[in-house]
Structure 1
Amino acid sequence: MMETVSVIIPVYNGEKYLRQCVESVLKQTYSQLEIIIINDGSKDKTALICEQLRHQDERIRVFHKPANEGLGAGRNTSLDLATGDYIIFVDSDDWIDPNHIEDLYQLLKRTDSDIAIANFTQYFEENGSYNIHLTEADYYEAVYSPQDWFAFQYGHGHNLSLCFTVPWCKMYKRSIFDTIRYYTDGFGEDDRTTWKTYLMADKIAYMHRSSYVYRVNATSMTQTADQGTVFQVGPIAERLEVLSLLGFDLSKEIAAYKWRAQINRDSKLKDGDMKAYRDLEFRMRLIEKYKR
């Protein structure tokens, strides 16, 4: 009997892209799927499209929220509803290659890993272009311990740092989320959550292949927010606290904290937020003083 993969798709005002996203999931070569669409209080035609899709395929389940609660809350609702053996996230304005789920499943199974990860291609909505950065000749597979994967995320090209952060382009054993839920108090739900899943894993498998298409458009939060909002220091500070308790090498995390603190310090100073500026300046000076 095939194991079930729960595909989680939160959506808010997604009438323009949702059908393309869901249809890419329906075309997967791996067919034992539970597709959970969370309509997060949309005000456009999203609810109608959700119901049309639900009647199109019995594998689709739809949950309509009465009000918009945010992406993290939508994922949490889906995790509570999911019954599959494995979890995959797909953002509602993205789409996946027909082999995406099967490739991740086969990678996870043959390496006996808890999380399987693929790479992704960027699609730029404004001019209809793709950022293709991987070829067949680039392909490799690797299996990492959590310690190795935390170290590997830094200093490599091919979107690997972003692959570390985002929840999509991955397959997780559902048990990974027994004690993990997504951050819901503002921007940064991925940055504050995905790293926790790696710590709950014993082995993390990576394939250097792109099978997920990430749509970049002018209205996305990462495009419109300032750098201080996108690269907050809070997630790194939380990681430093946890990783220090576990005895991980902190050198690369401290370097990441310094880089983010510099961005945030300048942003706070520009906005005239002197309290936040002095707090960050205090930490930066301590790091320099003790040569970390």
Structure 2
Amino acid sequence: MHHHYPLVSIIVAIYNIKTYLPQCIESIINQDYANLEVILVDDCSTDGSKQICDAYAEQDSRISVIHHTINQRHSKTRNDGLDEATGDFIVFVDGDDWLASDFISYMLHVITVTQADIAINLVNYTTRDTSQVPDAPIQMWTAEKTLTELLYPHLPVGVWNKIYRRDFIENNHLRFLDRYTAEGELFINTAVQYANRIGVGCHKAYYYRLNNAQSATTQYDVKQGTESTRVLREINNNLTIRTRSVLAAVNQHIWLNEFWTIRQIFGTRTQNKNAELLHNCKAYVRRHFWPVVVDEKRFSKRIKYFATGLFPIVMAKLKNLQFDISLHRDQLKHNIERKY
């Protein structure tokens, strides 16, 4: 291949997602950009995902498979992919998501035009929203602005829907740290602090699945709340960029997370078991809501945060009700699609 067709390494972390995996892999090998290295890391799946990986690797020489012999969770899985990768650029795809055919060519365009270490895309397709946005010009953001937007989080904090220069990852020794949750958030927030600048695209090309009932994002889990707050405090303690906007963003996110933990407690109906945690979260939400309200630019959110600060429990129950209804709707939609 000529040097102006850089090699892009795509790392897919896989664990028991047989139902969605073929769609994911097909969408990668059918990209309109062909110079790819696809690394499927199967974290000891027991549902037949492993066999699917092997079958695709046999068909397409660009695909290689790493099989774990014991389940090692997301961080180790992605790190193994990074250790194997030889491309000029790195892309992470979650195994239950899939790509539009121009995802790689678009992201490559953004990072090449801006000469940035990382490029991100502001918009995604989801199983709820499949309409494209009008094309917007590519922007260049500073590390500080990107960090602020990620910390709020006004942007998706996963490592997907982004592209990284591999030498940037290697030179800064960036790897995933093993945490119960939010290891991707920890990675991206750390990475942008090292970046020269960030290329920012605004063209939907990544399909983010909302209707996987097994996914961590669709289930109540109190530990998800507490651990995610722990990661945020870890990010906060290690910030190298500590401007007013960055600190306001991390403070708002921690506050939202304490509220989210209240939602997890009610969602799992464990108010008695988690009485002390509930008390602490409630106290935190009440004590710290004012700076969050003042800092928030969007009027509707400001009203919501104000109400949340005054009535954390009522608001938590309302939010859960809303969440359960939309999840139910997404799953109905998914079941209907499966039938046809």
Q: Deviations over 1:199-227 (max 9, x none)?
A: 12111111111101111222211101347
**Is the contact between residue 227 and residue 263 of structure 1 (CA under 8 Å) also seen in structure 2?**
no
Match of 1:247 in 2: 242
1:272 and 1:52 mapped to 2: Cα distance?
47
Instruction: Work out which of the residue numbers 111, 123, 126 in structure 2 matches 1:122.
Output: 126
2:290 and 2:133 mapped to 1: Cα distance?
45
Match of 1:211 in 2: 205
Partner AA of 2:165 in structure 1: K
Relative distance call for 1:230 and 1:8 in structure 2 (3 A) is: farther
Partner AA of 2:271 in structure 1: K
More strand by share: 1
Q: Deviations over 1:157-207 (max 9, x none)?
A: xxx7342x0111111011333322223232222222221111121111111
Instruction: Work out which of the residue numbers 135, 138, 142 in structure 1 matches 2:139.
Output: 142
Higher RCO, 1 vs 2 (CA within 8 Å, ≥6 residues apart): 1
**Is the contact between residue 120 and residue 210 of structure 1 (CA under 8 Å) also seen in structure 2?**
yes
Partner AA of 1:21 in structure 2: C
Whether 2:23 is the aligned partner of 1:20: answer yes
Partner AA of 1:225 in structure 2: Y
Whether 2:68 is the aligned partner of 1:65: answer yes
Q: Deviations over 1:83-114 (max 9, x none)?
A: 11110011111111111101111111111111
1:154 and 1:247 mapped to 2: Cα distance?
12
Q: Counterparts of 1:156-175 in structure 2 under 5 Å? A: 161-163=154-156, 165-175=157-167
**TM superposition shift of 1:33:** 0.8
**TM superposition shift of 1:284:** 6.4
**Secondary structure at the residue paired with 2:67?**
strand
More helix by share: 2
Match of 1:261 in 2: 258
Q: Deviations over 1:16-58 (max 9, x none)?
A: 2222211111111211111000111011222221111111111
1:44 and 1:122 mapped to 2: Cα distance?
25
Match of 1:197 in 2: 191
**Is the contact between residue 34 and residue 84 of structure 1 (CA under 8 Å) also seen in structure 2?**
yes
Q: Which runs of 5+ in 1 are unaligned?
A: 124-129
Match of 1:31 in 2: 34
Match of 1:187 in 2: 181
**Secondary structure at the residue paired with 1:161?**
coil
Relative distance call for 1:97 and 1:237 in structure 2 (3 A) is: same
**Is the contact between residue 87 and residue 173 of structure 1 (CA under 8 Å) also seen in structure 2?**
yes
Relative distance call for 1:154 and 1:279 in structure 2 (3 A) is: closer
**TM superposition shift of 1:254:** 1.3
Partner AA of 2:41 in structure 1: I
2:143 and 2:51 mapped to 1: Cα distance?
42
**Is the contact between residue 188 and residue 230 of structure 1 (CA under 8 Å) also seen in structure 2?**
no
**TM superposition shift of 1:64:** 0.8
**TM superposition shift of 1:289:** 11
Relative distance call for 1:177 and 1:280 in structure 2 (3 A) is: farther
The two structures, once aligned, show a CA RMSD in angstroms of 2.8
Relative distance call for 1:152 and 1:101 in structure 2 (3 A) is: same
**Is the contact between residue 147 and residue 193 of structure 2 (CA under 8 Å) also seen in structure 1?**
no
Instruction: Work out which of the residue numbers 203, 218, 226 in structure 2 matches 1:223.
Output: 218
**Secondary structure at the residue paired with 1:167?**
coil
Relative distance call for 1:50 and 1:273 in structure 2 (3 A) is: same
**Secondary structure at the residue paired with 1:172?**
strand
2:229 and 2:11 mapped to 1: Cα distance?
28
Using the size of structure 1 for normalisation, the TM-score is: 0.84
**Is the contact between residue 18 and residue 48 of structure 2 (CA under 8 Å) also seen in structure 1?**
yes
2:271 and 2:260 mapped to 1: Cα distance?
11
**Secondary structure at the residue paired with 2:13?**
strand
Using the size of structure 2 for normalisation, the TM-score is: 0.73
**Is the contact between residue 9 and residue 36 of structure 2 (CA under 8 Å) also seen in structure 1?**
yes
